[in-house]
Amino acid sequence: MASLAVAGAAAAGGRLFGPGAKAAGEGSDPDLGPNVVVFDPSMPRAAMQARLDAIFKEQERAHFTDARYAVLFKPGRYAVDCNVGFFTQVAGLGAVPGQAVIDGHLHVEADWNKGMALVNFWRAVENLEVRPPDGADRWAVSQAAPYRRMRLRGDLALDDGGWSSGGFMADSRIDGVIRSGSQQQWFTRNGEIGAWKGANWNMMFMGVAGAPPTSFPEPPFTALGSAPLVREKPFLYVARSGEWRVFAPALRRSAKGVSWASGLPRGRSIPLSRFFIARPETPARRINEALARGMHLLLTPGVYRVAEPLRVDRANTVVLGLGLATLVAEGGAKALTVADAPGVTVAGLLIDAGPVNSPVLMEVGPRGADRDHRANPSLLSDLFFRVGGAAVGKATTCLEINSRHVIGDHLWIWRADHGDRASGRVHVGWTESTGDQGLVVNGDDVTLYALFVEHFQKYQTLWNGERGRTFFYQNELPYDPPSQAAWMAGRTRGWAAYKVADHVREHHAIGMGVYANLTADPSIVLESGVEGPRRPGVRFEHVTTVSLGGGKGTIAHLVNEAGAAARPGAIRQTLVRYP
């Protein structure tokens, strides 16, 4: 852990702990490695600001870096400006957001890319109160950049002048006006906002006081009064005694508003001493031994190369990543597996495909899992997947959910459409970095919020389970099919962006956007953006298709045979409901 600008030094009075050692007791800090920076209010403001500026300078343009940082603020007030770059998590260590306060800006800009925020990925803020001196802040991001468990005393802009393609906000209170600007789509869940201004293609709200009413398709607002079943992401905090703990919020049903309105919500407060604290050099074998002993797992910032999966076999285990901790599957291995056990949480990770094809990167429950977990569902929160980009990646399926009653809350599953041009590391070809499906759901009664799946070569999402629910879906089709003949699902032109299997009798998805940018061959046609059985129990609502770039590719129908073509000359189409 770093104290101020000295990486690797313990905070004053603290003790150092090796990977997997017990966390600190009362009044002392754990050693979370050199890439976790912990501030407390007694530290000199100038030194804190210098450290924040140094991290941002390193990470501002670091689109495909291996560097990872977590910046943590103990309870207190801080007069600092925090600009959040790539692969940086900034979080408060209070029990509620108002216990750690930034008297300044906590923001994301797109200055490095001339105002274009389309690739402002992989960063996060959570559990802080922000009081900007001018009453306004900015969070100009696209995918994989959650704004979670926040209090902002002011207005919030979600763009920086150029295009942006976000985004996710949850469990947050924004006192002022949110201006979405150029955001193509955005999902906001369980919050309170002063007002919302702006819309482009797909804006969805669930359990948000102050949200605009449903008016899809013009403007394209979808507002639902509550989230039917949700569990908030666990978070680190420091108790009044000085003890470090992780709080895992309890399941909420028909949830409205923020979870922390009356203080710390219902849930489990777990001492950090019950966590195995891993670093990137920790062997997977040691991590699995700790998990088998019943330890929870905290993955400190960095890149973990795993030739065998991390195995989560015990009920109610919490796996929490800091600073977008990253698992890279090596030798065709799975990166992480979860048994068919209740109450497991996996949160805050990026999972990368390696150069040898992995049949599955992450598996939740073995195939054929059928236990009933409705009383204690597992949670997947802020999980991101990447195939290709700056290195070759291959995975047949990124995420396979076989267990029942799983909740997913903010997933971005991405086959890369670009690499690191500045360094010459570009590995995104149709035959170079390959992936069939982003997501396969075999389990019944799975509920997903804010699902983003992009650029896979067959079905982006394939849903085989019964009674599935998706609240907000964003998809961009692959850019790189070389021809129509190379991209056929049997006799059907193209592979649907969201496919519900023919045997399914009940399914519901709402707030869906499917976009075509078929730059390798703009004459390619996708027959239907969404496909599903033609029966009353399978329902799709508020569906949008767009042919990007002025018409690079055609989506002939929105759902099955319904709806007009998104094509050159008529680039956006909408469908209110199907059937």
Convert the pLDDT of each residue in 391-448 to its tens digit. 999 999 999 999 999 999 999 999 999 999 988 999 999 999 999 999 999 999 999 9
Q: How far apart are CA 94 and CA 50, in angstroms?
A: 23
Confirm whether pTM is higher than 0.75. Answer: yes
Query: Which residues is 366 bridged to in the sheet?
Result: none
pLDDT at 6 over 90: no
Confidence of residue 230 (pLDDT cuts 50, 70, 90): very high
In what helix (H) or strand (E) does residue 463 lie, and over which residues does it extend? strand 461-463
Could you report the per-residue pLDDT of 521-535, keeping only the tens digit for each?
999 999 999 999 999
Residue 480's pLDDT is what? Answer: 97
Residue 385 reports pLDDT greater than 80: yes
pLDDT of residue 531: 98
Percent of the chain with pLDDT over 70: 95
- DSSP strand E in 131-179: where? 136-138, 147-152, 155-157, 168-170, 173-179
Q: What is the pLDDT of residue 12?
A: 25
Count of Cβ atoms closer than 10 Å to residue 423 Cβ = 11
- What is the SS3 assignment for 111? helix
On the question of pLDDT at 20 being above 70, the answer is no
476 has catalytic annotation: yes
Tokens, residue 353: 């495909």
* Active-site residue identified among 476, 506, 527, 531: 476
**Amino acid identity for residue 277 in this structure:** I
Q: Please check the confidence at residue 13 and state whether its pLDDT lies above 80.
A: no
pLDDT band per the 50, 70, 90 thresholds, residue 291: very high
What's the whole-number mean pLDDT along residues 46-59?
98
The candidate with the shortest Cα–Cα distance to 416, out of 446, 443, 395, 445, is 395
Q: Which pLDDT band, with edges at 50, 70 and 90, does 28 fall under?
A: confident
Annotate 102-154 with DSSP letters as a single string: ESS-EEB--GGGTT--TT--SEEEEEEEE--TTSEEEB---SS--EEEEEESS
> 7 falls in which pLDDT band (50, 70, 90)?
very low
Amino acid identity, residue 431? T
Cβ proximity of 439 and 408 under 8 Å: no
CA distance 56 to 69: 10
Question: pLDDT grade, residue 1 (50/70/90)?
Answer: low
Strands 244-249 and 267-271: antiparallel
Q: What is the pLDDT of residues 122-131, one digit of tens each?
A: 999 999 999 9
pLDDT (tens digit, 9 = 90+) per residue, 454-501?
A: 999 999 999 999 999 999 999 999 999 999 999 999 999 999 999 999
**567 near 537, Cβ under 8 Å?**
no
Give, as one character, the DSSP assignment of residue 171: S
pLDDT beyond 60 at 287: yes
Nearest to 154 by CA among 105, 187, 190: 105
The structure tokens listed for 146 are 């959650």
Average pLDDT of every residue of the chain: 95
pLDDT(81) > 80: yes
pLDDT at 2 > cutoff 80: no
Q: Give the contacts of 378 (CB within 8 A, at least 6 positions apart).
A: 338, 341, 342, 343, 344, 345, 346, 364, 403, 405, 406, 407
Going from N- to C-terminal start, the domains of the chain cover 36-230, 301-476
CA dist 249 and 430 (Å) reads: 42
Q: Do 36-230 and 301-476 have matching folds? A: yes
**Residue 406 CB neighbours (<10 A):** 25
In CATH, the architecture of 301-476 is: 3 Solenoid (2.160)
CATH of domain 36-230: 2.160.20.10
pLDDT at 422: 87
- 224 close to 205: Cβ distance less than 8 angstroms: yes
User: How many C-beta neighbours within 10 Å does residue 387 have?
Assistant: 30
Residue 3: per-residue pLDDT: 45
Mean of pLDDT values over 209-219: 98
